[in-house]
């Protein structure tokens, strides 16, 4: 973000534009018992459930979709390491 501040232009709108897809993905994962809500209302992965769809994606999707999936997987892993979401809001200069 420091090296490419232009990324912030319109970021809040792009994030909000992804909201319907994110909510649908979360609903799908909860219905498939891949994710569940804990006592603090945080999403957690259900142990023993599949963690990835890489094999299926390689067989059924284009290179562009595979690239997007890999990037989103990496982004999710990076965000999961952040102890406080307030830090992410601050870094991206997006109001919660």
Structural domain count of the chain? 2
Segments forming the whole domain that contains residue 81: 52-96
The answer to whether residues 27 and 4 belong to one domain is yes
What 3 state SS string does 26-95 have? HHHHHHCCCEEECCCCCEEECCCCCCCCHHHHHHHCCHHHHHHHHHHHHHHHHHHCCCCHHHHHHHHCCC
Instruction: Please give the model's pTM, rounded to 2 decimal places.
Output: 0.58
pLDDT, one tens digit per residue, over 45-92 is 887 766 666 666 666 677 887 787 788 888 878 887 888 878 777 777
- Over the stretch 5-24, which tens digit does the pLDDT of each residue have? 777 788 778 888 888 988 99
Residues 4 and 23 in one domain: yes
Query: Are both 21 and 61 inside the same structural domain?
Result: no
Same domain for 30 and 61, yes or no, is: no
């Amino acid at each position: 973000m420091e090296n490419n501040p232009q990324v912030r232009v319109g970021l809040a709108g792009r994030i909000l534009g992804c909201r319907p897809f994110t909510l649908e993905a979360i609903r799908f994962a909860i219905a498939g018992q891949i994710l569940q809500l804990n006592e603090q209302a945080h999403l957690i992965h259900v142990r023993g459930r599949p963690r990835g769809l890489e094999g299926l994606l390689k067989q059924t999707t284009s290179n562009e979709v595979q690239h997007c999936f890999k990037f989103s997987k990496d982004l999710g892993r990076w965000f999961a390491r952040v102890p406080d979401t307030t830090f992410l809001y601050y870094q991206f200069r997006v109001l919660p």
